[in-house]
Each structure stands twice: as structure tokens, then as C-alpha cells.
Amino acid sequence: MAKPDGSPRLVRWPRRLAVAALVVGVLLMSVFAWRAWRQHDYQTRLAAGEIQVETLRGWMTLSYIERVHGVPEAQVREALGLPASGGDDLSLHDWFGAQGIDPLEGRKKVEALILARRSALQEPDR
């Protein structure tokens, strides 16, 4: 389409493209800001000793819990009533299913061990 003076009408694509790029940029920035805030909140709660059920995942193995949280695998096995050896590659989810343990109750027992370990490490020697 032409203007009244006969010159071709300029396409508005550059302006629309700039607005679209700005909207996409703001959306991406919002997503990454949200993720950063959630990670900061998670780290703050962990540092405060506030372990929540959601911090323990079903995929975690007993050896992973020992490495990350410092709770000996033998203590976790004893608290959950698991055999003293074997099943090293089984996750918490697999152990709970195999032993008929309610996942929420099992996680609470593991949480209690982690919190006890942290408080023992934080107490000064007398």
C-alpha cells in the first residue's frame, strides 16, 4: 500500500519485533529471578537448620544422604528398620516401597536424624 504522496508505506515490523523482543526479555528475566529467589530461600532455610520434607527426595540413596548430610548410613538403616547391608543402589523411594514404610513418615525419620546430626555438630564441647 502506498502513502498519499505515492511513496511506499514503511513496514512496521522492526517496531513490532523490538516490542516482542522486549516482552520475551522481561519474561526470561522474571523466570530466572524467580529461580534465583527460590534457590536463595532454600539455602537460607537449610542454613537455619529448617529441613523440610520436600528437601529429601525419593531418588536419594542412603550413601548420598551420608555424603551430603553427614548422617552415617548405618544410623539411617537402623532408624528405618532396614537390613544392615545390601541394597546400596536403592533409593529412599525404593526402600520405602520394599519395606512398606509410609514415605512421609520415613522422610520425617531421616529428617530427624539430619537435624540431630546438625545440632550435635553445632553444640560446643563441654
Domain boundaries, the chain: 12-48, 53-122
Start-end of H helices in the chain: 13-47, 62-69, 73-80, 92-99, 103-122
Tens place of pLDDT per residue across the chain (126 aa)? 556 666 556 667 888 899 999 999 999 999 999 999 999 987 887 777 676 656 777 788 999 999 988 899 999 999 999 999 898 899 999 999 999 999 889 988 998 898 888 777 766 655
Distance CA 7, CA 50 (A): 69
d(CA 83, CA 60): 17
Residue 119: which of 51, 43, 32 has the closest Cα? 51
Number of Cβ within a 10 Å radius of residue 106: 22
